[in-house]
């Protein structure tokens, strides 16, 4: 049964009123009991983020609703703002209330026309006296969705991530404490406040199933179901009807093999298996499809989308793409060593996590499917 994707509630903002009556500490405790985690990809506990922002000193604080959903294959945040704008706004207002913020910024990608219109309409309708609410448009570049790049854009600057620390909760927008929270994360908040943490647990998340599924689309998936059920029940199986060869939970996550189909859909299970739930932009590769081609596409994407600010990231993304290009065109060599050396060198360097994002799918692809890569490198032809 869907919890979040239900008809839009009335616009009485009853959850906000209840949150006022409960007080910030009780609301944050409810989020902690619900184990609500960030849905932008990092999975950071929302309650912890709110506690830090609440404790931060500052006469002016901000909440940024991060709709910078730039990951290809993810469409949930756009859909939420377009179809459930009041739920998102109410979640943001509760966040502001609990963290002591008076300013709320909806950060939406400039080509999300339906979401932008819905957000502006909802802002005009919402009973949010005491809060200053506005929409700021993000460029379409991938890195613009990174939380500190979002702060730069809102301040009218180039979409480049900031060096951290300080983190946004300490010194964010205009140097003031700022809670940057993903759209989906905030959309869950009113329900948890209204109905209590048990309503939410064990939790659910929105997943975007791409065109590799028989039934692509945005689905609400309860945590704990197997990846096999996710693919079969929610996605209708693979598009071509063949068995799953690999699963990619998000473009910036590591590939999982078909043997991982029995894993439960949880942050922990996917992390223990060497991958990451990310933003839930799922893609599958089926038997007969080429992993080398897919890995090259992903590498080319990160090469094109790295912002250019940090040399190790440029070096890594350029190198990964060049290595896969060589493999794809049948140039044998020690490509595994190249990938391992460059990703080890780059790890932890740079201002944002794009370095790790580019490495995860590349390394997992060559480790899980060594024969496919070896055959490509030898002959330039796909064994699949």
Partner 1 sequence: MRDDKRLVYVCEGGDCSEKGSIELHAELDGMLKERDTACKNRLRKYPCFGGCEHGINLVLFPDRVFYSNVKAEDLPEIVNHLVGEGPEVKRLEGKVAPDVEQITWDLLDTGF
Q: Which stretch binds partner 1 (CB under 8 A): 47-55, 85-93, 167-175, 332-340?
A: 332-340
C-alpha–C-alpha distance, residues 103 and 136, integer Å: 12
Binding residue for partner 1 (CB under 8 A) from 217, 338, 353, 367?
Answer: 338
Site size toward partner 1 (CB under 8 A) is 20
The residue within the footprint of partner 1, chosen from 333, 348, 379, 381 (CB under 8 A), is 333
CA-nearest of 103, 173, 94, 167 to 134 is: 103
According to DSSP, the residues that pair with 220 across neighbouring strands are 206
Strand residue runs (E) in 229-361: 244-248, 256-257, 281-286
Our CB check for partner 1 shows the closer of 267 and 367 to be: 367
Residue 334 as a binder of partner 1 (CB under 8 A): the answer is yes
Task: Please report whether residue 304 would count as binding partner 1 according to CB under 8 A.
Answer: no
By CB under 8 A, which span of 88-96, 134-142, 311-319, 364-372 interacts with partner 1?
311-319
- For residues 218 and 84, give the distance between their C-alpha atoms in angstroms, rounded to a whole number: 14
- Token code pair at residue 132: 């200053």
d(CA 295, CA 176) in angstroms, rounded, equals 40
Asked if omega into 297 is within 30° of 0 (cis), the reply is no
375 near partner 1 (CB under 8 A): no
* 176 contacts partner 1 (rule: CB under 8 A): no
**Which residue is listed with tokens 């590591």?**
254
> Which span (42-50, 199-207, 246-254, 341-349) binds partner 1, by CB under 8 A?
341-349
In 100-222, DSSP assigns E strands to 103-109, 132-138, 178-182, 204-209, 217-222
Among 45, 197, 236, 312, binds partner 1 (CB under 8 A): 312
The residue within the footprint of partner 1, chosen from 181, 185, 319, 364 (CB under 8 A), is 319
Answer for which of 194, 315, 374, 384 binds partner 1 (CB under 8 A) is 315
Q: Which of 326, 356, 382, 383 binds partner 1 (CB under 8 A)?
A: 326
Residue 348 touching partner 1 (CB under 8 A): no
Evaluate whether 177 touches 55 at the Cβ level (below 8 Å). no
CA–CA separation, 157 and 166 (whole Å): 18
Quick one: which of 163, 341, 347, 378 contacts partner 1 (CB under 8 A)?
341
Q: Quote the least distance from Cβ 302 to partner 1, whole Å.
A: 13
136: tokens are 């700021």
Residue in 118, 269, 342, 360 binding partner 1, rule: CB under 8 A: 342
132-138 and 103-109 beta bridge pairing? parallel
Q: Pull the structure tokens for residue 165.
A: 């620390």
Residue 201 or 314 with smaller CB distance to partner 1: 314
Cβ at position 333, least distance to partner 1 in Å: 3
Alpha-carbon 244 to chain mean position: 23
192 closest CA partner among 181, 204, 180: 204
Q: Contact residues for partner 1 (CB under 8 A)? A: 308, 311-312, 314-315, 318-319, 321-323, 326, 331, 333-335, 337-338, 341-342, 345
């Amino acid at each position: 049964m869907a919890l979040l994707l239900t008809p839009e509630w009335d616009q009485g903002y009853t959850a906000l009123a209840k949150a006022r009556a409960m007080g910030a500490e009780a609301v944050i405790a409810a989020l902690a009991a619900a184990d609500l985690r960030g849905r932008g990809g990092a999975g950071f506990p929302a309650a912890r983020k709110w506690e830090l922002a609440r404790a931060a000193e500052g006469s002016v604080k901000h909440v940024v609703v991060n709709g910078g959903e730039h990951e290809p294959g993810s469409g949930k945040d756009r859909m939420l703002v377009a179809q459930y704008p009041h739920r998102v706004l109410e979640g943001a207002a509760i966040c502001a209330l609990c963290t002591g913020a008076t300013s709320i910024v909806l950060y939406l990608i400039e080509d999300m026309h339906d979401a932008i219109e819905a957000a502006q309409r909802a802002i005009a309708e919402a009973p949010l006296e005491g809060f200053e609410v506005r929409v700021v448009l993000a460029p379409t570049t991938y890195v613009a969705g990174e939380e500190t790049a979002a702060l730069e854009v809102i301040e009218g600057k180039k979409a480049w991530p900031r060096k951290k620390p300080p983190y946004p909760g300490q010194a964010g927008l205009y140097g003031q404490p700022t809670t940057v929270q993903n759209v989906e994360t905030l959309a869950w908040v009113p329900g948890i406040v209204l109905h209590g943490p048990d309503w939410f647990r064990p939790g659910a998340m929105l997943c975007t199933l791409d065109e590799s599924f028989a039934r692509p689309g945005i689905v609400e998936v309860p945590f704990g179901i197997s990846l096999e059920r996710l693919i079969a029940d929610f996605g209708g199986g693979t598009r071509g009807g063949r068995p799953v060869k690999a699963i990619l939970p998000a473009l910036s996550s590591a590939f999982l093999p078909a043997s991982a189909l029995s894993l439960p859909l949880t942050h922990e299970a996917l992390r223990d298996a060497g991958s990451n739930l990310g933003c839930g932009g799922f893609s599958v590769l089926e038997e007969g499809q080429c992993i080398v081609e897919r890995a090259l596409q992903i590498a080319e994407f990160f090469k094109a989308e790295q912002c250019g600010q940090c040399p190790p990231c440029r070096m890594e993304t350029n190198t990964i793409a060049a290595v896969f290009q060589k493999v794809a065109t049948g140039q044998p060599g020690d490509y595994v060593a190249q990938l391992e050396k460059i990703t080890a060198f780059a790890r932890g360097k740079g201002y944002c996590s794009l370095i790790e994002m580019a490495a995860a799918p590349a390394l997992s692809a060559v480790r899980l499917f060594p024969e496919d890569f070896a055959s490509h490198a030898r002959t330039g032809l796909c064994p699949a």
